[in-house]
Amino acid sequence: MPVTQATPEEIAAANERLLNATPQDVLRWASDRFSPRLLMATAFGAEGCCLIHMLAEIQPNARIINLETGYQFPETLALRERIKARYGTEVEYIYPEQTVADYEAERGGPLHQLRPDQCCHDRKILPLRRAVERIDPLAWISAIRKDQTADRGKAAVVQWDAKFSLVKLNPLLNWTKKDVWGFIHKHDVPYNPLHDRDYPSIGCWPCTRPVAPGEDERAGRWAGKAKKECGLHVIEVKDGEGI
């Protein structure tokens, strides 16, 4: 039988059932329910690397994508190759329509300092929307934790994502930073070496800096600005209902 989209009732029931489940149990349910129309998006953060390790055991053929904005650190791009060598998992790059050079030339220079929301929209949100239209998944997996930001704190383990009209799965929602690094060290999971150089959260290089002792782990993202999210994980409201 073809895989169909989950109803609101099924999503609510699944979230209640999986609220305190292990990440592996969430991934097993998602794989059983949505494969082959299940997608994971990763920025190769520590959390995402944990999920890639889990999926290699639970669903080795899972489709995983990375939004290659053109501004990623060299260490991030190299990590993709290390993951491929370790697990045989080839993360697919999703590119914006324009190269960095063409994008900046058309706009009179880089936007990431003056209009970072626009830059994220053009080089992350729009490419992901095009990828979703092309790949046609029913659900996508993210690596967010609820203790990272206020928006992420509003998320559920299983929820409807109105931004992309998909079920969104957050298997690591209830994990802490300690849980993440405990898993990495226990299983020798490949991770970005920038984490060892005071980059707990890694995005595009123009908008990411190391954090000082005592700072929030996302203090290095868009430092000096109120912005704390690229927009992928901001909770939206659709048709008067919270998601």
Task: Classify strands 237-238 and 241-242 as parallel, antiparallel or unpaired.
Answer: antiparallel
In this predicted model, what pLDDT tens digit does every residue of 36-85 receive, in sequence order? Answer: 999 999 999 999 999 999 999 999 999 999 999 999 999 999 999 999 99
Residue 49 in marked binding region: no
**Residues 243, 238: Cα–Cα separation, whole Å:** 8
What would the DSSP string read from start to end of 95-153?
Answer: --SS-HHHHHHHTTS--TTT-HHHHHIIIIIHHHHHHHHHH--SEEE----TTS-HHHH
- 8-242 CATH choice from 1.10.10.410, 3.40.50.300, 3.90.1720.10, 3.40.50.620: 3.40.50.620
Asked if residue 194 lies in contact with residue 87, where contact means CB atoms within 8 angstroms, the answer is no
Residues 6+ apart with CB under 8 A from 138: 3, 4, 5, 6, 34, 37, 38, 166, 167
Asked if residue 145 lies in contact with residue 52, where contact means CB atoms within 8 angstroms, the answer is no
Asked if residue 204 lies in contact with residue 71, where contact means CB atoms within 8 angstroms, the answer is yes
Residue 207 in marked binding region: yes
Is residue 243 pLDDT above 70, yes or no? no
Confidence (pLDDT) at 241: 32
**Residues 124, 128: Cα–Cα separation, whole Å:** 6
Q: What is the pTM of this model?
A: 0.89
Residue 119 in marked binding region: yes
49 annotated active-site = no
Q: Which one is catalytic: 64, 230, 235, 243?
A: 230
In this predicted model, what pLDDT tens digit does every residue of 139-161 receive, in sequence order? Answer: 999 999 998 878 888 899 999 99
Is residue 224 pLDDT above 70, yes or no? no
Domain segments of the chain: what residues? 8-242
